[in-house]
Chain A
Amino acid sequence: MPDRGLASSTAAVSPPQSDPVIELRGVEKHYQMGPTLVKALRRIDLKIFPGDYISILGPSGCGKSTMLNILGCLDQPSIGDYFLDGVDVSELPDDELSQVRGKKLGFIFQSYNLIQQLSVVENIEVPLYYQGMPEKESREIAAELAKKVGLGERLDHRPTELSGGQQQRVAIARALSNDPSVILADEATGNLDSKSGSDILEIFDELNEDGKTLIMITHDEGMADRTPRVIRLKDGEIAFDTYRDPPQ
């Protein structure tokens, strides 16, 4: 795999400023496909620190999606431990795992995944609703976030009345609503034209500047130049993990 001019090519992670927000220890994910056991992830050891801005890159079939599912607590590792904010979530029961997703994680999907029957502001509110926040409060937060992503005028619009870029901005606002520890973006610009795509990426940059931890899962090599930390997966293993000097 080409080096792409990164500052460091070592597989070790450099600046451990504080306790990691995410730590994977020896995580593996196995699937039984008929008679054969497929190891989608193997020997994953990974620490992600608060404020990290990471691209997880790799060709399709390298285990990116599995990685996303495990990091997003949508799935649990077959072997190994996953600590999120110091809590081992690798064997939590379903209800508590839902709780963790709702409290600590923000999701941004390739196809936006907005709920069609809800308005912009209601979509942004969904994570807060499941946290049991009263409507008055959550409505305020949602309106604030909509304004932040430039949709302050479209609070009552339906997803179908918005462009792709606008929908993705609603999704970003939604991912921010519960003030998560980590934001996971899965091919967030994959369905967008280059103009809207770069708008979205600019929002991500701003969020990281505000101190948010972002993990982008993508096959877009361009992302590697954008994020300070790049992780490359190959055949279910981490082939490359490094910080490069932030662009001046």
Chain B
Amino acid sequence: MNLSAIRELSLFRLKRAITLGIKSLWMHKLRSFLTALGIVFGVASVIAMLAIGEGASYEAQQQIKDLGSQNIILESVKPTNTTTAGEQERSLILEYGLTYRDIAQIQATVPGVEVTIPSRKVKDFLWNVSNSVDGVALGTVSWFPTMKNRELVRGRFFTEMEMKGRSPVCVLTESLARNLFPLDEPIGQTVRMKNSYFRVVGVIEDDSAIAAAAESELEGGGDSSEGMEMMIPISTLEDHFGEVLFKYRSGSFEAEKVEFHEVTARIEQPEQVMPAALAIQHILETNHDEVDYKMTVPLDLLQRAERTKQIFNIVLGSIAAISLLVGGIGIMNIMLATVTERTREIGIRRALGAKKKDIVFQFLIETVILSGAGGLLGVGVGIAIPLAVTHFADMVTVIQFWAPTIAFTISVMIGILFGIYPAVRAADMNPVEALRHE
């Protein structure tokens, strides 16, 4: 007999063994279904949890990536430190934050710094005739959208010419545009802050990343002015609002001088980001007596998020392994009972010429069908759950093609692993005694 004939024979045997296995399992439909259910839940939970977890981390990573993985973001923070508070109170004007000196030093000494995007903020009411919103005037540079990965929804960003010419033009964020101009087209209209007027030239998409990052860092994002930004050339901001900001809040008077509220440094090479961050940190530590700045390194966040995801995956993997193990034990338990129940059938088959390995094969196939069917059903349920979650809870879920494949493969392997013992026990029965079994 040549090889292909043997292969054909074994293929035909496999096909008939599967048919037989299905018939035997079909005799006890409910029992088979309940047995497979353990695997169904195991496999479904693996796939669903992975998809939801992957979706969550995908969202987080996307937000971090939106910040720009080659960027280092520096922000001015009002110092909470009270050691020098007395001094500052006397001077009336609170001076803090990033300075021209910092930026100049960073640009001059830190290797790989390509461009910086400085920005200053003025918080006040923004007016469209009688319609007002508590917002922020953000003075920045013309290359802001490219560096920050933000797209313009309508119109254009202000140009370098307008920046140099200190033009009173502005670009609104989407949510600000919606609030200020609920009905009209904002482009070409005028927005007022304090006593200055700015012409709207474009609308830029909202910065979901910063909002989410701020939230995740527990800074309390309950500010109504959050995201309500009007972007104007930084030179224009200086012209119109000066260097010192005055605030009148609930009867008290406050003046602060901040040279830059935010500076984003872009690093040429990704591998230079971490060393550059250390260098910048060092410069700032030298220049500032107190910590009146905050440094965010998206790449660092990204790496940390990836580590978190790894831990998450290990935990998920362990849960999945345990649930599949429990499912496998359930299958083995039922198969042992089945073998005992079908002792007589085993005896008959042995009398009619079945070898031990035929019996092993028969019961192993049955177990594998059980676990494989459970696995398949589990894949179906496991794919349906994330889809439902996306549909109803509006959460991003990511089903990676390997997750169902691996989950199904494992379920089949569980069938083999936990099927061997019952199958071998069936085959090892003495045919005489098996035939006598009632």
Contact = CB atoms under 8 A, between A and B. Distances in A.
Interface of A: 69, 72, 74-75, 94-95, 98-99, 101-103, 107, 109, 113-118, 126-127, 129-132, 134-135, 174, 178
Interface string B13-38: 10010001001101100000000000
Contact of A117 (B12, B24, B351): B24
Given A74-B432, A109-B435, A130-B358, A101 B352 contact: yes
B27 A101 contact: no
Contact of B349 (A99, A126, A135, A178): A126
Interface residues of B, number: 26
A72 B435 CA distance: 12
A129 B14 CA distance: 12
Contacts of B348: 113-115, 126
5 contacts: A98-B356, A99-B353, A99-B355, A113-B344, A174-B352
Interface in B405-438: 431-432, 435
A130 B354 contact: yes
Contacts of B344: 113
Nearest to B438: A111
B350 interface: yes
B438 to A, nearest CB: 9
A102 B9 contact: no
Contacts of A102: 352-354
Contacts of A99: 353, 355
A173 to B, nearest CB: 13
A115 B350 CA distance: 12
Contacts of A95: 355-357
Pick the most buried of B13, B348, B351: most chain A CB atoms within 10 A of its CB: B351
B345 interface: yes
A112 to B, nearest CB: 10
Nearest to B434: A74
Given A98-B354, A130-B353, 8 more contacts: A94-B355, A101-B351, A109-B435, A113-B344, A114-B348, A117-B20, A130-B358, A134-B12
Given A74-B432, A113-B348, A113-B435, A135 B16 contact: yes
Given A115-B345, A129-B16, A135-B12, A94 B356 contact: yes
Contacts of B350: 74, 98, 101
Contact of B353 (A109, A115, A131): A131
Nearest to B431: A74
Contacts of A178: 353
Given A117-B24, A117-B27, A72 B351 contact: yes
A102 B350 CA distance: 9
Contacts of A103: 353
User: Which 3 pairs of residues, A with B, have the shortest CB-CB distance?
Assistant: A102-B353, A130-B353, A98-B355
A116 B27 contact: yes
B23 A118 contact: yes
Contacts of A117: 20, 23-24, 26-27
